[in-house]
């Protein structure tokens, strides 16, 4: 299976929406640069994140944020543009995403209100006892964040 992987810049804030089957999804506009420094060209990719990961990451995926992503099943989709003509775009599904660089200023405070208060969780006896519902963790003392 083909994939695209690299360092991308988010082109607009992520917006969480739900399918008619109530499945969460985020659509992201991602840009990556290629070519020689003097001829730097940007390629845009419309990519999606599905499920609980989409719900957990939506508030952190802001315009300008730099991410490393692996996009599976990249393909060209055609559509009718505003002028009635036919246009095409590169699309795919994000299978892995990691935060890179510094966070945009807007990300210092979450955009959405915090989730409702829950009962305090009991501490896990070990790392193996922890669930996989942690959306990301800090990967050392740098600017990198890793999604799991």
Residue 113 lies in a domain: no
Residue 117 lies in a domain: no
Cα–Cα distance for residue pair 12/108, rounded to 1 Å? 17
- DSSP letters along 73-106, please? EEEEEEEE-TTS-EEEEEEEEEEEEEEESPPPGG
How high is the pLDDT of residue 143? 46
In this structure, what CATH number is given to the domain that contains residue 72? 2.40.50.140
Cα–Cα distance for residue pair 109/132, rounded to 1 Å? 24
Distances in Å between the Cα of 68 and the Cα atoms of 20, 43, 95 are 30, 15, 11
Pair of tokens at residue 27: 């659509």
Mean pLDDT of the chain: 78
How high is the pLDDT of residue 36? 73
- DSSP letters along 2-26, please? -EEEEEEEE-S--EEEE-TT--EEE
Residue 125 lies in a domain: no
- Does the pLDDT of residue 125 top 50, yes or no? no
For the chain, give the longest Cα–Cα distance: 60
How high is the pLDDT of residue 44? 92
* Tally of domains in the chain: 1
Mean pLDDT for the stretch of residues 29-34:
89
Mean pLDDT for the stretch of residues 112-125:
49
Cα–Cα distance for residue pair 106/111, rounded to 1 Å? 8
With pLDDT > 90 as the criterion, what percentage of the chain qualifies? Answer: 56
Query: Which pairs count as long-range contacts for 26-30, CB under 8 Å and 24+ apart, including other chains?
Result: 26/54, 26/57, 26/58, 26/61, 28/61, 28/94, 30/67, 30/69, 30/71
Residue 71 lies in a domain: yes
- Does the pLDDT of residue 113 top 90, yes or no? no
- Does the pLDDT of residue 4 top 50, yes or no? yes
Residue 94 lies in a domain: yes
Mean pLDDT for the stretch of residues 65-82:
94
Residue 115 lies in a domain: no
How high is the pLDDT of residue 63? 94
- Does the pLDDT of residue 48 top 50, yes or no? yes
Residue 121 lies in a domain: no
Residue 25 lies in a domain: yes
- Does the pLDDT of residue 83 top 50, yes or no? yes
73, 92 Cβ separation under 8 angstroms: yes
Domain boundaries, position 58 = 3-105+132-147
Cα–Cα distance for residue pair 68/59, rounded to 1 Å? 17
């Amino acid at each position: 299976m083909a994939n695209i992987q690299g360092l991308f810049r988010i082109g607009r804030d992520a917006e969480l929406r739900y399918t008619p089957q109530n499945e969460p999804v985020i659509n992201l506009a991602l840009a990556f640069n290629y070519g020689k420094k003097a001829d730097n060209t940007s390629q845009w990719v419309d990519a999606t994140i599905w499920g609980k990961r989409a719900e957990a990451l939506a508030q952190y995926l802001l315009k300008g944020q730099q991410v490393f992503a692996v996009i599976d099943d990249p393909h060209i989709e055609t559509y009718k543009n505003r002028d009635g003509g036919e246009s095409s775009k590169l699309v795919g599904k994000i299978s892995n995403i990691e935060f890179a660089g510094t966070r945009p200023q807007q990300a210092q405070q979450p955009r959405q209100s915090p989730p409702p208060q829950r009962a305090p969780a009991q501490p896990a006896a070990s790392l193996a006892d922890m669930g996989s519902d942690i959306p990301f963790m800090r990967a050392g003392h740098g600017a990198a964040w890793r999604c799991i």
